């Protein structure tokens, strides 16, 4: 046992290598979805022209800002290095080259390594026994890989880097708490900036989270120290985000991170038109299969057949054939689904330009803010179910427990007077709540929260075990 304790880190490494081998074998050359294709085009245009743009590849492209930049700039840099290492590698052949698509997806393995190493470092900082931290990292790795990573390997979406930056923010905050060194405060701000440049909604979270986290780090009522910490945190954040915002203001006269806010808010405003019956039915539509088929379906007398055009639930189906026909024929008043109304019918019927969409959406939302707030509840329910396909009851239970831990963490911080729970939960929880309030909240949006939710659950189990068995060696440091 003493040998195992001295070399437990090697067990973690062996676990990570076994996961990487399996993950590598799962990567294929299948074509990418629309969002991932835009990300790859952005990376290739940056690599080929030195211009960030999601436009189709060609001899000349105009700058763009449709997608958040950090993952795509990293991808472009990676493909450039790959082309130097492998001279025969043709990075200009997209979209037809399956080799390019597969090798582009390999970058996800780099994110997996960085994510799992960061989780391991975080556990070692939080659990008193390094040996216990290493042993607990192993099942956590497999769970995170199964319920999160595996679904990300064959796309180039931004969920993996977002998850990584969420872990880095917590790690930086805990290192700042333990060391009281200014570097880690700035590091946390930089990581927050990287998160915003990966998922722009983080900017809204930052308005609340950065002042609160600065107050927690300063850990005193002396305003001078608080403002020093706030300045350092904000400095790291601004140094990361402002160059990109200035670029977009210079190029497009818009001081924003990405272009899609108007589309998302307009879609969200369309969901606000659901009536009371649809409000209740939405909990069936957005439930995982295990709950939908076994509990809510029989209780509410609903089934998947009701999602067809003309049926009870058709407003929740974004892929109706009748909607496609109505949009093609410009019969916008006949469009049924909330999504297609907000995405296509409203802007086209009103003749909205891209830059007009956001102001129109905000006007529609502010016309009935109470209804907007109420509709956030079923959308929060929708975003809750991010743990894969949710076929098995055990997956549903784990999903519920992990997110419940995330929501309980700030409460525990107050009850136990342990600031660590704030460091672990505030930013991912803030992202979750803002997604529910400002978007139509596809479960994919909350997938980056899974690792931090699982970490919160694990640490609460450790803390509970230590309280039940005070002599046990497994306990939290902070």
pLDDT tens digit sequence for 45-88 = 998 889 999 888 877 788 998 899 999 999 999 999 998 888 77
pLDDT tens digits for range 410-451: 999 999 999 999 999 999 999 999 999 999 999 999 999 999
CB neighbourhood size of 14 (10 A): 11
Query: Using the 8-state DSSP alphabet, how is residue 341 labeled?
Result: I
Let me know if 418 is exposed, middle or buried by CB neighbors in 10 A (0-12, 13-18, 19+): middle
**Rounded-to-integer distance, Cα 74 and Cα 65, Å:** 16
Quickly state the pLDDT bin for 267 (edges 50, 70, 90). very high
Contact 54, 67 (CB under 8 A): yes
Q: What is the pTM of this model?
A: 0.95
Q: What is the DSSP string of 281-338?
A: HHHHHTS-HHHIIIIIHHHHT--GGGGSTTSTTGGG-TT-HHHHHHHHTT-GGG---H
368 contacts: CB under 8 Å, gap ≥ 6: 272
On average, the pLDDT of the chain sits at 92
Instruction: Output the CA torsion sign for 216, 221, 222, 224.
Output: positive
- Closest CA relative to residue 390, chosen from 287, 285, 289: 289
pLDDT in tens, 92-139: 666 668 888 999 999 999 999 999 999 999 999 999 989 999 999 999
Cα gap 336→324, rounded to integer Å: 10
pLDDT, tens digit, 9 for 90 and up, residues 348-385: 999 988 888 989 999 999 999 999 999 999 999 999 99
Question: Burial level of 387, CB count in 10 A (0-12/13-18/19+)?
Answer: buried
Helices (H), 389-449: 393-416, 420-438
């Amino acid at each position: 046992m003493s040998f195992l304790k001295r070399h437990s880190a090697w067990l973690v490494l062996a676990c990570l290598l076994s996961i990487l081998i399996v993950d590598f074998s799962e990567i294929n050359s299948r074509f990418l979805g629309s969002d991932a294709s835009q990300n790859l085009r952005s990376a290739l245009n940056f690599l080929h022209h030195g211009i960030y743009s999601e436009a189709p590849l060609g001899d000349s492209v105009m700058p763009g800002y449709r997608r958040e930049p950090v993952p795509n700039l990293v991808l472009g840099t990676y493909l450039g290095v790959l082309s130097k290492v492998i001279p025969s590698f043709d990075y200009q052949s997209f979209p037809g080259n399956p080799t390019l698509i597969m090798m582009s997806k390999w970058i996800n393995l780099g994110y997996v390594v960085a994510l799992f190493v960061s989780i391991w470092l975080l556990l070692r900082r939080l659990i008193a026994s390094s040996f216990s931290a290493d042993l607990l990292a192993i099942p956590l790795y497999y769970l995170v890989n199964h319920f999160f990573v595996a679904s990300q390997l064959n796309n180039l979406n931004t969920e993996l880097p977002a998850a990584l930056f969420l872990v880095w923010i917590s790690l930086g905050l805990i290192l700042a708490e333990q060391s009281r060194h200014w570097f880690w405060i700035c590091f946390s701000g930089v990581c927050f900036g990287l998160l915003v440049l990966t998922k722009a909604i983080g900017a809204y979270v930052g308005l609340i989270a950065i002042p609160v986290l600065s107050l927690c780090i300063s850990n005193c009522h002396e305003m001078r120290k608080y403002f020093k910490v706030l300045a350092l945190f904000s400095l790291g954040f601004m140094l990361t985000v402002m160059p990109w915002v200035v670029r977009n203001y210079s190029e497009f006269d818009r001081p924003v991170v990405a272009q899609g806010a108007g589309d998302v808010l307009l879609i969200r405003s369309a969901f606000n038109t659901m009536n009371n019956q649809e409000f209740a039915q939405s909990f069936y539509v957005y439930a995982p299969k295990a709950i939908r088929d076994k509990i809510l379906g029989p209780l509410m007398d609903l089934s998947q057949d009701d999602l067809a055009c003309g049926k009870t639930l058709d407003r929740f189906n974004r892929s109706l054939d009748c909607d496609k026909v109505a949009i093609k024929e410009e019969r916008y008043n006949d469009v049924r689904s909330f999504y297609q109304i907000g995405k296509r019918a409203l802007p086209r019927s009103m003749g909205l330009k891209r830059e007009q969409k956001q102001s129109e959406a905000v006007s529609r939302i502010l016309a009935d803010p109470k209804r907007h707030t109420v509709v956030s509840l079923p959308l929060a329910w929708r975003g809750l179910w991010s743990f894969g396909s949710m076929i098995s009851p055990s997956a549903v239970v784990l999903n519920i427990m992990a997110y419940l831990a995330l929501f309980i963490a700030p409460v525990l911080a107050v009850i136990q007077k342990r600031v660590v729970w704030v460091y672990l939960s505030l930013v991912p929880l803030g992202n979750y709540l803002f997604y529910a309030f400002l978007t139509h909240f596809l479960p994919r949006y909350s997938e980056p929260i899974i690792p931090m939710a699982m970490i919160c659950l694990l640490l609460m189990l450790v803390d509970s075990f230590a309280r039940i068995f005070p002599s046990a060696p497994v306990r939290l440091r902070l």
